[in-house]
A and B are shown apart, each in its own frame.
Chain A
Amino acid sequence: MASRVFLRRVIGAGLLAAALAGCMLASYFTQDLIAEAAILAVFALSLDFLATCGLVSFGHAGLLGVGAYAFGGLTVLAGYSPGTALAAAVLGGLIVAMAAGVFAVRTTGAFFIMVTLAMAEMFFSWVFRDRTFKGADGMGGVPRLDLSAIGVDLNDASTFAIFVVLLCAAIWLALEFLIVSPFGRTLDAIRQNAGRVSALGGSVFAYRLAAFTISGGIAAFAGAFKVQHTNFLSPDLAGWLASGDVLIAVVIGGIGTLVGGILGAAILVFLKDFLSSHFGHWYLFLGAIFMMVAIGLPRGIVGWVLELRGKRP
């Protein structure tokens, strides 16, 4: 019988193959959607990785926003190269997450949700009001990474889509290995029973902080690519609706499965596109679909598939 790990990787490989085929064969418009889905998938991975230690954030768009604004600000306003800006964006995400985490990860459950939401809204209201980044108007002209040195033109829609799909696959694989490392298993043990980890002598706080920091770095990375994709920087990237969207993606796909976040992101992006081209009130339909999945498949689609294969590896 196939193990859960094997099944997860098969699903991941299938999604990767479908995405790459789409990048090469599908229309310009579909390629654009694939790129959007891959970037949301990276963001979803950051949220689901955090869930490994039992924490569900409702302010993750704040960390995505840190990466987006660091990248957009440094390239458009300060004239740094996109490569430097990308490194700075990830570093900024790591630092902000660590600083915020010192306060946030002392709480769990609903309190953690409220603390992360409040922190993200603080960031949102700053970039919404402050004219440095043109406030609510947003700011255009964000450049993409320049890989012409190796003959890759990211301004081509197909190439950009392939590039972000491969980045997403690389991050997913890295996280797949990270969650079975002693560090990752400690996070899982904390999710199952934090009190017992303490009683064994493990520092629950330090591990949760480390997970939150890593998660923030990945979210910021996703943010830096989100603004490269649209070439546009705006505060709603960091708003609570964006935090809600990524949470919906992870829950639909299957929380705690990693690959579920990728599937959920793909479903969300394509469903939104389909619904919004047919209905005016498309969030109404999206909400209904989300509710049906949440009630019918409480562990999400991937969680449900894995459960069909038994409880354990």
Chain B
Amino acid sequence: MTIALETRDLGKSFGSLVATRNVTLAFEAGLRHAIIGPNGAGKTTFFNLLAGNLRPDGGRVLLGDRDVTNLGLAQRARLGIARSFQRNNVFMDLTVLENLVFARAVREKRTAVFWRSLRSYGDLREGAEAIAEKVGLTGDLDTVARSLSYGGQRQLEVGLALACDPKVLLLDEPTAGMSPEETARMRDLIRQLPGSLTMVIIEHDMDLVMDIADRITVLDYGSVLTQGTPTEIRASELVRERYLGGAAANPAGAS
């Protein structure tokens, strides 16, 4: 078993609020990991620590064998940790294609160029179109991001993360605010991503989590409550009591 991303004794406090409490976790390569937990459990803080938006107060973050604890967001992105955001965070004035071409240009370190136009990067267009297809936006290549539907912007959000050629893809509530149809589309999209890609997903939609995750980690008050396969989590007394409540008491409803 290869570990793609790992945390050791990771901690982060905001004043007297402990958002992440000694979290030691290993994310096995090539699996889809879900992080669940009630609101305020520290999921997004933990994500920000993984991606490099925040520096921890203590503990370490390792990408494979490499200690990335002291690296910032951009440096970690270059090493292969890509993230999407809970709130849409795309380039609103650019078209879908321009968003993705730009992301590819950053990925290939070809933005420090003064003497030609970005439009002349025909070779990047191919890669960008391939990503648009993966996230279901082929029909909207020339649509300005601002004019996309909310769900479309969510898809572009994931597309931008994919454009980084990530080793580890962090998705923060990819279906937040989506309609049931849009959620179903996102579920298919995530399912179709290559199996070699390690994914960590924060998600509130339990049906989706049970459906797509290989491993589930439950956070509560900043600590790891438990970890396991979807079947194990569904069967866990502790999780049922602390988090799933009625939903897991009726397994049929959760599948």
Residue ranges of A at the interface with B (Cβ–Cβ < 8 Å): 177-178, 180-186, 188-189, 192-193, 195-204, 207, 311-312
Residues of B within 8 A of A195 (CB): 89
| B101 (CB) vs chain A CBs: closest residue | A185
| B76 (CB) vs chain A CBs: closest residue | A201
The answer, yes or no, to whether B243 is at the interface (CB within 8 Å) is no
> Would you list the 8 A-B pairs with minimal beta carbon distance, nearest first?
A201-B77, A201-B78, A182-B113, A186-B111, A185-B118, A200-B106, A202-B106, A180-B117
Supposing A189-B102, A192-B94, A193-B89 touch, asked if A199 and B82 sit within 8 A by C-beta, the answer is yes
A200 near B103: Cβ-Cβ < 8 Å: yes
A200 near B121: Cβ-Cβ < 8 Å: no
Given B51, B77, B113, which contacts A183 in the complex, CB threshold below 8 Å?
Answer: B113
Residues of B within 8 A of A188 (CB): 93
Supposing A180-B117, A180-B119, A182-B113 touch, asked if A200 and B163 sit within 8 A by C-beta, the answer is yes
The answer, yes or no, to whether B110 is at the interface (CB within 8 Å) is yes
Residues of A within 8 A of B94 (CB): 189, 192
The answer, yes or no, to whether B193 is at the interface (CB within 8 Å) is no
Residue ranges of B at the interface with A (Cβ–Cβ < 8 Å): 51, 72-75, 77-78, 82-83, 85, 89-95, 102-103, 105-107, 110-119, 121, 144, 160-161, 163-164
Q: How far is the CA of A204 from the CA of B72 in the complex (A)?
A: 12
A186 near B93: Cβ-Cβ < 8 Å: no
Within the complex, the shortest CB–CB distance from A106 to chain B, in Å, comes to 13
| B104 (CB) vs chain A CBs: closest residue | A200
Supposing A192-B93, A193-B91, A311-B144 touch, asked if A200 and B117 sit within 8 A by C-beta, the answer is no
Residues of B within 8 A of A185 (CB): 102, 105, 111, 118
Give 26 A-B contacts (CB < 8 Å), ordered by A residue. A177-B117, A181-B114, A181-B115, A182-B110, A182-B118, A183-B111, A183-B114, A184-B114, A185-B105, A185-B111, A185-B118, A186-B102, A186-B111, A188-B93, A192-B94, A193-B89, A196-B89, A198-B72, A198-B73, A199-B161, A200-B77, A200-B103, A200-B106, A201-B164, A202-B74, A312-B144
Residues of A within 8 A of B72 (CB): 198
Contacts A182-B113, A193-B90 known; list 4 others, CB within 8 Å: A195-B89, A196-B85, A199-B73, A200-B107
Q: How far is the CA of A201 from the CA of B80 in the complex (A)?
A: 9
Q: How far is the CA of A71 from the CA of B143 in the complex (A)?
A: 49
A196 near B74: Cβ-Cβ < 8 Å: no
Supposing A185-B102, A193-B90, A201-B164 touch, asked if A180 and B107 sit within 8 A by C-beta, the answer is no
Residues of B within 8 A of A202 (CB): 74, 106, 111
Q: How far is the CA of A199 from the CA of B159 in the complex (A)?
A: 13
Q: How far is the CA of A186 from the CA of B94 in the complex (A)?
A: 12
Residues of B within 8 A of A198 (CB): 72-74, 77
Residues of B within 8 A of A312 (CB): 95, 144
Within the complex, the shortest CB–CB distance from A245 to chain B, in Å, comes to 29
Within the complex, the shortest CB–CB distance from A1 to chain B, in Å, comes to 15
Given A192, A197, A201, A204, which contacts B92 in the complex, CB threshold below 8 Å?
Answer: A192
Residues of B within 8 A of A196 (CB): 85, 89-91, 160
| A206 (CB) vs chain B CBs: closest residue | B112
Of B92, B111, B114, B164, most A-chain CB atoms within 10 Å? B111
Q: How far is the CA of A193 from the CA of B85 in the complex (A)?
A: 13
Supposing A182-B121, A189-B102, A192-B91 touch, asked if A199 and B113 sit within 8 A by C-beta, the answer is no
A182 near B105: Cβ-Cβ < 8 Å: yes
Q: How far is the CA of A189 from the CA of B30 in the complex (A)?
A: 32
Residues of A within 8 A of B114 (CB): 178, 181, 183-184
B91 near A189: Cβ-Cβ < 8 Å: yes
Of B51, B92, B105, most A-chain CB atoms within 10 Å? B105
Within the complex, the shortest CB–CB distance from B135 to chain A, in Å, comes to 15
Residues of B within 8 A of A186 (CB): 102, 105-106, 111
Supposing A182-B112, A311-B144 touch, asked if A200 and B164 sit within 8 A by C-beta, the answer is yes
Q: How far is the CA of A188 from the CA of B51 in the complex (A)?
A: 24
Q: How far is the CA of A198 from the CA of B54 in the complex (A)?
A: 13
B106 near A197: Cβ-Cβ < 8 Å: yes
Supposing A192-B93, A196-B160 touch, asked if A201 and B118 sit within 8 A by C-beta, the answer is no
Within the complex, the shortest CB–CB distance from A169 to chain B, in Å, comes to 19
| A174 (CB) vs chain B CBs: closest residue | B114
Within the complex, the shortest CB–CB distance from A133 to chain B, in Å, comes to 35
A180 near B74: Cβ-Cβ < 8 Å: no
Residues of A within 8 A of B112 (CB): 182-183
Q: How far is the CA of A83 from the CA of B73 in the complex (A)?
A: 45
Q: How far is the CA of A253 from the CA of B135 in the complex (A)?
A: 40
